[in-house]
Structure 1
Amino acid sequence: MKHADFNVLYEEHAEQVYKFLLRLCGDSHLAEDLLQDTFLKAMQNVDSFDNRCKFTTWLCQIAKNTYYDTWRKKKNHPIEELPEELDSGHSFEEQVINRQSAQEIRKLIHRLPEPYKEVFLLRHYGELSFREIGEIFEKSEVWGRVTYLRGKEMLRMTLSGKE
């Protein structure tokens, strides 16, 4: 594959893979580094892509593996930094409450056991279909749907205090 061709693929898929990585790791700088590592690995192994799944699905699989390799090497696993700017459309108190709620939900998502956490992130933030999620895990579309719904139910139960 020519370098120019890969640049086109990068332009088409980088944003979706970045969003997936950002939700997976919760750190924008780390997500950017992981995105670069993901595309470097993809470029080096593009011959192994066999068209059994979408290119984005294949990239998310590489991104997931790259994230876990990095995660295993680090001792500190940040959840996610709060946005720096305040939304001027709401009172300061509302914004603080909304931020705290969003941060707590992110923490709960990151506390889900695997594979529920990863499937939830792929579906909700990576915007992948259940078929694509199943392909990443080498499982069926039904497995992706059931695993997502179970993870969602775990979150619901935790949020309602019925753990």
Structure 2
Amino acid sequence: MKLACSSLLLPVLLVGFVHAQTNSLKQVVGATEVVYLEEANLSFKARVDTGAKTSSIHAEEIVVESSGDPQGKPITFYLVTKDGQSRKIETHVTSVVKVKTAEQSEYRYVVPLLMKWHDSRKTVFVTLNDRKEMEYRLLLGRNWLHGDFIVDVDKNNED
């Protein structure tokens, strides 16, 4: 019996050890964070949303430089912080996605942006959206979290 218990317990301990090792490599982020966007030279107060698959950012004056399928085409837009700082961004459309909101479904352009949080830098695909009425103009979804971060909802880091 002693041997049977220990052989059953070993896989559980190993799984727990692997899980602990995996999480120990990830940084802990709070429900809100300040993230620096390198292309814009701007910092945004951001809401971390584990329910959102893709990150989203407030953008104004969005112009795709050509007609037809926008994928791969040049795009320009302005990123505007809550306090009114604005920067023009020029990049390429990665894709167009259909996003379901509480009110409706809409199509949004997806673009890559280089984000920095503490010592972590990563390029993240974000949807461009009108978030001017939102408290947080940057929403960090699971695509930003994936592989690097875990969320502690009791932690807030907006300063």
TM-score by length of 2: 0.25
Which structure exhibits the higher relative contact order, with contacts defined as CA atoms closer than 8 Å and separated by 6 or more residues?
A: 2
More strand as a share of residues:
2
- Return the TM-score normalized by structure 1: 0.25
Greater helix share, 1 or 2?
1
